[in-house]
Amino acid sequence: MSEGSRGSSLAFGQVVIGPPGSGKTTYCQAMREFLGRLGRRVAVVNLDPANEALPCPCALDIAELVTLPDVMASLGLGPNGGLIYCMEYLEANADWLRDKLQGLGGHYVLFDCPGQVELYTHHESLKNVFGQLAKWNFRLAAVHLVDSHYCTDPGKFISVLCTSLSTMLHVELPHVNVLSKMDLIEQYGKLAFNLDYYTEVLDLSYLVDHLASDPFFRNFRRLNEKLVEVIEDYSLVSFVPLNVQDKQSMRQVMQAVDKANGYSFGDQEHRSLEALMSAAVGADFHFSSTLAVQEKYVQSQDKAVEEEVMDL
């Protein structure tokens, strides 16, 4: 995987990004176990210098190069400034990363990235690191995790859509947006619309109308309308629902990512024509996965109502 290794074999993987608490490390652990059961050799690479309590051993840890506490202590920086410095330091020491990755030949690599949103919407260092990985024959897809509880708040969901769109445009990788922690969504409150409204990002004017029912947001209706127009004009953002404890849900995300980074169309695994076409088409499994999650959500809501009636 040297600078001129265009003729070497390809390596596939995912860069797992998203805000703090969205479940990136949990996703990497669950996806590694899931892909491992399918016969893939999977390696997790921790690129988060603030992640000190790793739940499982990593094939490569950025802590060997730099850690956030050391940077904050030695340079007097806060957490945000320290993370930016760490990513700039990683970019400046790309040779270290390349040498370490050479030992992972033949592995499918999951890159667990930091949780600072600015690194994916404004700052250039992590984007440049992803560019270097592409030069080293890595074929990557960005998996952007978003906590599903944002669906229960129209204002937060519009903010999430803006952040997701900005990240997609800035990172410049094949992109899969994921609504994580779907198994907990019933704890966050009732959704204003069906789940497919949020996963497929349907007519957002309904969301603006719903938001205007709040007296605080009524004064900002025109601003929200303009934000929604930007999102709909690009028409890029959609989500795949994920529950890491559900094998079918993990499979749907895996298929979406394999399609995005091109793994589905390689010869790494024996595939039937039916399996290849299901990954290539994409639309059917998105709908079925959302429908299955929606049914579970509605059932949990109905059960809650029944329990309330029984209590009365």
Mean pLDDT, the chain, rounded, equals 85
The tokens for 304 are 């809650």
pLDDT: which is higher, 207 or 280: 207
Asked, for residue 173, whether it belongs to a domain, the answer is yes
Of 284, 261, 281, 283, nearest in space to 273 by CA: 281
Q: Say whether pLDDT at 102 is over 60.
A: yes
Of 240, 117, 231, nearest in space to 165 by CA: 231
Asked, for residue 175, whether it belongs to a domain, the answer is yes
Say whether 15 sits in a helix, a strand or coil. Answer: strand
CB atoms within 10 A of CB 99: 12
Phi-psi region of 230 (alpha: psi -120 to 50; beta: other; left: phi over 0): alpha
Give the CATH number of the domain where residue 165 resides: 3.40.50.300
Total tally of structural domains belonging to the chain: 1
Q: Count of alpha carbons within 13 Å of 257, Cβ hemisphere only?
A: 27
The tokens for 250 are 């993990």
- Furthest CA-CA distance within the chain: 72
Q: Say whether pLDDT at 6 is over 50.
A: no
Name the pTM for this structure.
0.83
Say whether 215 sits in a helix, a strand or coil. Answer: helix
What distance in Å separates the CA atoms of residue 277 and residue 62, rounded to the nearest whole number?
Answer: 38
Q: Say whether pLDDT at 7 is over 70.
A: no
Ramachandran angles phi, psi of 269, nearest 5°: -130, 155
The tokens for 118 are 């600015």
Of 276, 287, 125, 142, nearest in space to 202 by CA: 287
Span 286-308, average pLDDT: 56
Of 169, 109, 164, nearest in space to 134 by CA: 109
Asked, for residue 4, whether it belongs to a domain, the answer is no
pLDDT: which is higher, 65 or 5: 65
What is the structure's pLDDT at 2?
45
Lowest mean pLDDT segment, chosen from 54-58, 68-72, 172-176, 283-287? 283-287
What distance in Å separates the CA atoms of residue 124 and residue 282, rounded to the nearest whole number?
Answer: 31
Asked, for residue 45, whether it belongs to a domain, the answer is yes
Asked, for residue 91, whether it belongs to a domain, the answer is yes
Alpha carbon of 240 to those of 33, 144, 152, 199, 284: distances in Å?
Answer: 20, 10, 16, 6, 12
What is the structure's pLDDT at 283?
44
Asked, for residue 137, whether it belongs to a domain, the answer is yes
In this prediction, residue 5 has a pLDDT band, given cuts at 50, 70 and 90, of: very low
In this prediction, residue 285 has a pLDDT band, given cuts at 50, 70 and 90, of: very low
CB atoms within 10 A of CB 156: 14
What is the structure's pLDDT at 250?
94
The model's pLDDT over 249-274, given as tens digits with 9 standing for 90+, comes to: 999 999 999 999 999 887 555 454 44
Asked, for residue 99, whether it belongs to a domain, the answer is yes
CB 46 within 8 A of CB 61: yes
Asked, for residue 295, whether it belongs to a domain, the answer is no
Task: Please name the amino acid found at residue 140.
Answer: L
Domain boundaries, position 148: 11-192+241-263
Ramachandran angles phi, psi of 139, nearest 5°: -110, 105
pLDDT: which is higher, 275 or 220: 220
The model's pLDDT over 68-91, given as tens digits with 9 standing for 90+, comes to: 999 999 999 999 999 999 999 999
